[in-house]
Amino acid sequence: MSDTTEGADLGVEELTEAQARAELARLAQVLGTANTAYHTDDAPEISDAEYDALKARNAGIEARFPDLKRADSPSDQVGATPAEGFAKVRHSIRMLSLGNAFEDADITEFDTRIRRYLGLGEDAPLAYTSEPKIDGLSLSLRYEGGELVQAATRGDGEVGENVTANARTIADIPERLEDAPAVLEVRGEVYMSHEDFDALNARQAARGAKTFANPRNGAAGSLRQLDSTITAARPLRFFAYGWGEVSAPLSDTQMGAVERLASLGFSTNPLTRLCDGPAALLAHYAEIEQARATLGYDIDGVVYKVDDLALQARLGFRSTTPRWAIAHKFPAELAWTRLEAIDIQVGRTGALSPVARLTPVTVGGVVVSNATLHNEDYIAGRDSKGGVIRDGKDIRVGDWVQVYRAGDVIPKVADVDLSKRPEGAEVYVFPTTCPECGSEAVREEGDAVRRCMGGLVCPAQAVEKLKHFVSRAAFDIEGLGAKQVEQFYRDGWIAEPGDIFTLQERFGSGLQQLKNREGWGEKSANNLFDAIEEKRKIPFGRLLFALGIRHVGEQASNLIARNYGRWEEFTAAMDGAAGFEGPDWERLLGIDGVGEVLARSLVGAFAEDNERTSIDRLVKHLTVEAAAAPDTSGSPVAGKTVVFTGTLEKMTRAEAKARAEALGAKVSGSVSARTDLLVAGPGAGSKAKKATELGIETVDEDEWLALIGDA
Ligand code: 9MJ
C-alpha cells in the first residue's frame, strides 16, 4: 500500500529524503487550505494545536532537509491572503509570525543559536523578555501625529485588511496618544476574554445566530465585520507587545519599549518579565503554565524575545520569522488506545514504513486512528543505535498503546502498557520482502530504514516517483494529481515521466479510452492535454527537482539551476563529473549549499544508464527555461562570488553569509578562478595566498562593510 501521504505517519527523524519531500508537498497543501479557512473565512477546519503541529512538522522537516524547502513553503507564509470585502493595506514593515518551540531543549538551542550567530560566548550576558502568547489575532495600529489613522490585520504579513473603523470601537485602543513619535505603528493582539466570549455566545444562541467555537474565532469574527456597529457591540480587548514603523525609537530594549507603550496608554501583559537566560525563561514558562487556567483569556504558549534592540536588529529575520524571538508552545495531549494492526507503507525510495492502525481515540481535540511506529527497531524497543527505549518493551498487535501529538502533527505511539497485553500477542516480525512487489527489502549498515530493492519494478516506487513528478513544486500539471497518476500507471498508460508528454499522441485521436473512464469526459480529457501542453516549457530548477533525485530538494535544484544557467551546460557538466573528480566535479562541490552527499547522488543519477535514458527521453519533449539570478539590482555585490576567510570581528560567518546572500552574492567556501572577492580577516591563510596568486581582489572586514554600505 502506498499513497500520497507517504511518510505522513512518520516522525521527522524517521523520514527518508523522498518521504520528506512528499511530506513537505502535502503539508504545503494542507496548511494552505487550513490558512484560508482560518484567516480568510474565520472557520477553522482543524484545531489550533493541529495547525501548530503541522507547521512545526513542516519546519522540522525543513530543518533536517534544508535543500527540500519549497518555494511555496508554509514557513514563508504568514496567515493567508486577505478576504474580499475590506480595503487592502500594505504594511510599511512586514508583520511577522513566530517560530515555534515545544521542548525545553528547543529553548536552550534557541539561546545557543543566537549566541553563535552573534559570536557571543557562553558566559556573555544575554537577556530576554518572556510574556504570554495571546491566542487572538494580530493587529497593527498606525498613529500619525498621535492620531490613530489606520488599523490593519496581519493578512499575509505584507498586505492586511483595513479594519480602522472597527478598531476604533475597541476600548483598549486609544484614539489619540500624548508624546508619541510622529509616526508610530503599535502591534499587538486583539482577543476576547472567556467571560465575554461565553456571554457573546449565549446572546448569539438566544438570537438563533452563529456561535463561535472559541474566543479566538469570536475575536476574529467580531473584528472582521464589515459593519463596525457590530464590532462595537462585541467585547474585544487589545494587548500591545510590539511595533512596526516608528519615526523615533521607543527604547533601546524590548522591555523598555513595552513599558513605553504602557505609558502611552496601551494595555500590556502584566506577566511580561525580563529573564537572564534559558533557565529563567523555563521557570517563567512554568509559572505562566500554572497561571494559564486563571488568566481569563486564552494563551497558547510563552514568547521569548532578545531584550537588546541593537542585537535584535543584528539578528534580523529568516523568511517570515525573527531570529530574535520564539514562541514556546504548550504541549499537546496524550491518549491510550488499542493497536489493531501494523501496516507497511512503501515510499518513493523504497523505504518500508510501519504504520499503527488504532482504535480511533481523541487526542487534543482530534480523532486519531493512525500513528507512526517509525521503523523496525522502534517496534522492537530499540533506538537506531541499538540502545534500549521504552525500557526495552516491544510493541505487538493487540497492545494497549499511548498515542501523543506534540510538535509533530503525525501522532506517535510512545508507550505500551504490558499489563493489558492480550494473551498470545505475538512479537511483530518486520517484513524482509516488499509487501508491494515481493522484492527483497534490505537494511543497509547504519540505515534505520529497510528498503525495497525493486527500483522501478516496484509499482509503489514507480508510482511515488510519478506522483512527485506531477506534484505542486514540480510539474504541477492541473488535472493530473496523485489519484490520476495511480490510475494511469495501473492502466499501463504511463510508466515514467516522459510518457506523460506522449499521452495525447497515443490517445489523442481516439480520446475514447480516456473519456470512457470513470470521472473523465471529453472536456476534462482536453483540459488535461492542454495542461500537459502548458508544462512542456519548464524552468530548469523545477525540472531538476521533479526528477526526484535523492538529496536534491527544491532549494538545491534552484541553486544548481542558477549556478549552471542552462540545462545543456548542466548535463554536460554532469557528464564531465561522472568520475567524481576533475574541474566539473570541483565546480559542483564549490557551490555553497552543495555538499558531497548531494553531489554524489546527483552525479550518480545522471551517470546511471536507466535513469539517464529516462531523463533524456523526458527532456526531448520539453523546452527547459534557463535560470536567472535573483533581482538584486543596485546591490554592489549582486552576482559576485564571495569567499570569507580568517576571523571576522564584527559579525559571525553565518551573519556575514546571510547578509551577502541577501545582497545577491554567491558565497563559496573555496577560492577558485571563479571567485570575485575574498574577504579576509586576521589569520587568513591558504585561501588568501591562493587569491593573491589568482589575482583576486581581497578586502578586509571593514572594507567589505563599507562596500555593502554598512560600515
Ligand atoms: C502574542 N501573540 O502574544 C508576538 N505575541 O512578536 C507576542 N506575538 C510577536 N509577541 C513578534 N506576545 C511577532 C509576534
Q: What is the mean pLDDT of each run of 10 residues along the chain (711 residues)?
A: 54 84 88 73 66 80 84 71 74 90 94 95 95 95 96 90 93 95 97 90 84 83 86 92 96 98 97 97 94 85 97 86 93 82 91 93 72 94 86 95 70 91 96 94 87 85 93 89 89 92 77 65 84 95 93 88 92 96 90 86 89 93 85 77 88 80 82 91 88 92 86 52
Q: Does ligand 1 have an atom closer than 6 angstroms to the CB of 242?
A: yes
Do the two domains 454-535 and 540-625 of this chain adopt the same fold? yes
Query: Which residue in this structure is represented by grid cell 508510482?
Result: 463
**648/683 Cα distance (integer angstroms):** 10
Question: Of the listed 55, 69, 88, 133, which one is catalytic?
Answer: 133
**206/50 Cα distance (integer angstroms):** 31
Structure confidence at residue 511 (pLDDT): 52
Closest by CA to 129, choosing from 276, 256, 304, is 304
Q: Does ligand 1 have an atom closer than 6 angstroms to the CB of 134?
A: yes
Mutate to test the pocket of ligand 1, among 129, 190, 241, 298 (most ligand atoms within 8 A of CB): 241
Q: Do 253 and 307 meet the contact criterion of CB atoms below 8 Å apart?
A: yes
Residue 133 is a catalytic residue: yes
- State the architecture of 641-708 in CATH terms: 3-Layer(aba) Sandwich (3.40)
User: 689 by DSSP, 3-state: which?
Assistant: helix
Residues contacting residue 264 through CB under 8 Å, at least 6 positions apart = 174, 177, 178, 179, 180, 186
Q: Which amino acid is at 100?
A: N
Q: Do 346 and 450 meet the contact criterion of CB atoms below 8 Å apart?
A: no
**58/321 Cα distance (integer angstroms):** 14
**449/125 Cα distance (integer angstroms):** 44
From ligand 1's centre to the CA of 434, what distance in Å? 48
Radius of gyration (C-alpha) of the chain in whole angstroms: 28
Structure confidence at residue 1 (pLDDT): 33
From ligand 1's centre to the CA of 258, what distance in Å? 12
**451/352 Cα distance (integer angstroms):** 6
Strands 352-363 and 334-346: antiparallel
Structure confidence at residue 63 (pLDDT): 81
**530/79 Cα distance (integer angstroms):** 33
First to last CA, the chain: 59
Closest by CA to 430, choosing from 359, 342, 350, 340, is 342
Q: Does ligand 1 have an atom closer than 6 angstroms to the CB of 258?
A: no
Q: Ligand 1, closest atom to CA 321?
A: 13
Q: What is the DSSP string of 497-566?
A: HHHHTTHHHHHSTTTHHHHTSTT--HHHHHHHHHHHHHTTEEEHHHHHHHTT-TT--HHHHHHHHHHH-S
**101/303 Cα distance (integer angstroms):** 10
User: 477 by DSSP, 3-state: which?
Assistant: coil
Cell of 55: 507547521
Q: Do 397 and 388 meet the contact criterion of CB atoms below 8 Å apart?
A: no
- pTM of the complete model: 0.50
Q: Ligand 1, closest atom to CA 136?
A: 2
Helices 554-564 and 567-576: angle between axes, nearest 10 degrees: 100
CATH number of 12-76: 1.10.287.610
Q: Count the alpha carbons within 13 Å of 566 in the hemisphere toward its beta carbon.
A: 3
Q: Ligand 1, closest atom to CA 299?
A: 3
Q: Does ligand 1 have an atom closer than 6 angstroms to the CB of 98?
A: yes
Structure confidence at residue 166 (pLDDT): 93
Residues contacting residue 537 through CB under 8 Å, at least 6 positions apart = 622, 623, 625
Structure confidence at residue 517 (pLDDT): 67
Helix (H) or strand (E) holding 574: helix 567-576
Structure confidence at residue 332 (pLDDT): 65
* DSSP at 194: H
Structure confidence at residue 349 (pLDDT): 80
List the residue whose alpha carbon is closest to atom 7 of ligand 1: 133
Q: Count the alpha carbons within 13 Å of 324 in the hemisphere toward its beta carbon.
A: 21
User: 3 by DSSP, 3-state: which?
Assistant: coil
Q: How far is CA 647 from the centre of its chain?
A: 32
- Residues 333-442: name the CATH superfamily: Nucleic acid-binding proteins (2.40.50.140)
From the DSSP assignment, how many helices (H) and strands (E) are in the chain? 26, 26
| Sequence-separated contacts (24+) of 538-541 with Cβ below 8 Å | 538/475, 538/622, 538/623, 538/624, 538/625, 539/624, 539/625, 539/627, 540/564, 540/565, 540/566, 540/567, 540/570, 540/624, 540/625, 540/626, 540/627, 541/627
C-alpha to C-alpha distances, 614 to 456, 492, 530, 552, nearest whole angstrom: 11, 16, 23, 17
Domain regions of the chain by residue span: 12-76, 88-329, 333-442, 454-535, 540-625, 641-708
Structure confidence at residue 335 (pLDDT): 80
Closest by CA to 237, choosing from 227, 222, 250, is 222
From ligand 1's centre to the CA of 582, what distance in Å? 51
User: How would you label 321-338 residue by residue, b for 16+ Cβ within 10 Å and e otherwise?
Assistant: bbbbbbbbbbebeebebb
From ligand 1's centre to the CA of 299, what distance in Å? 11
Query: Which residue in this structure is represented by grid cell 526531448?
Result: 620
List the residue whose alpha carbon is closest to atom 8 of ligand 1: 133
User: 128 by DSSP, 3-state: which?
Assistant: strand
From ligand 1's centre to the CA of 298, what distance in Å? 14
- State the architecture of 454-535 in CATH terms: Orthogonal Bundle (1.10)
Tally the residues of the chain.
711
Q: Do 204 and 256 meet the contact criterion of CB atoms below 8 Å apart?
A: no
**121/527 Cα distance (integer angstroms):** 61
Closest by CA to 94, choosing from 154, 181, 29, 34, is 154
- State the architecture of 540-625 in CATH terms: Orthogonal Bundle (1.10)
Q: Does ligand 1 have an atom closer than 6 angstroms to the CB of 188?
A: no
Strands 641-645 and 666-668: parallel
Strands 237-246 and 159-161: unpaired
pLDDT tens digit string along 354-374?
Answer: 999 998 877 755 677 899 999
CATH of 88-329, one of 3.40.50.1100, 3.40.50.720, 3.30.470.30, 3.40.50.300: 3.30.470.30
From ligand 1's centre to the CA of 188, what distance in Å? 7
Q: How far is CA 211 from the centre of its chain?
A: 33
* DSSP at 37: I
Cell of 426: 505475538
State the greatest distance between any 2 C-alpha atoms of the chain, in Å, as a whole number: 84
Q: Where are the beta strands (DSSP E) in 532-651?
A: 537-539, 623-625, 641-645
Structure confidence at residue 3 (pLDDT): 36
**286/290 Cα distance (integer angstroms):** 6
Q: Does ligand 1 have an atom closer than 6 angstroms to the CB of 282?
A: no
C-alpha to C-alpha distances, 390 to 77, 272, 401, 418, 678, nearest whole angstrom: 38, 39, 12, 11, 52
Q: Ligand 1, closest atom to CA 95?
A: 13
* DSSP at 698: E
Helix (H) or strand (E) holding 9: none
Q: Does ligand 1 have an atom closer than 6 angstroms to the CB of 9?
A: no
